[in-house]
Amino acid sequence: MAAAEFLLAQPEAHRYRHRYLELVARSRGADGTAAVDHTAGERYLLATATTLRRAMRQDASAAQTQQVPGNKDDAGLEVRKMMCEPRLCEDGSVEQRSRQQ
């Protein structure tokens, strides 16, 4: 349920819904009653939501990384991760402070 709600809140929700409906299997039972199997559609929603959440986390993590002297990455560039910490000021406002890791 959470996966479906997460995907419906995304800009391309119509694509996820359309693909889910394609995967839902409709058939008739032995007695003629309608039978619907949501298994493949539910697996698709779970897998897609997981993939999208991971991609969003990686994007957020990459946005916090800045090129500064420090550790070297795969390309030989020196990088150090900058983490933002919220700090409550005396006037009640919130200030973002950066610290290096």
Task: Tell me the pLDDT tens digit for each residue of 39-72.
Answer: 999 999 999 999 999 998 888 777 766 544 455 5
Q: Given a cut of 50, is residue 21 above it in pLDDT?
A: yes
Q: 94 or 9: which carries more pLDDT confidence?
A: 9
For β-strands 65-72 and 25-28, DSSP reports them as unpaired
Domain that holds residue 95: 2-100
CA count, 13 A, side-chain hemisphere, 61: 7
What average pLDDT does the segment 25-49 reach? Answer: 90
Q: Given a cut of 50, is residue 100 above it in pLDDT?
A: no
Determine the Cα–Cα distance for residues 78 and 46; give it in Å rounded to an integer: 37
Domain count along the chain: 1
Q: Given a cut of 70, is residue 22 above it in pLDDT?
A: yes
Q: Given a cut of 80, is residue 15 above it in pLDDT?
A: yes
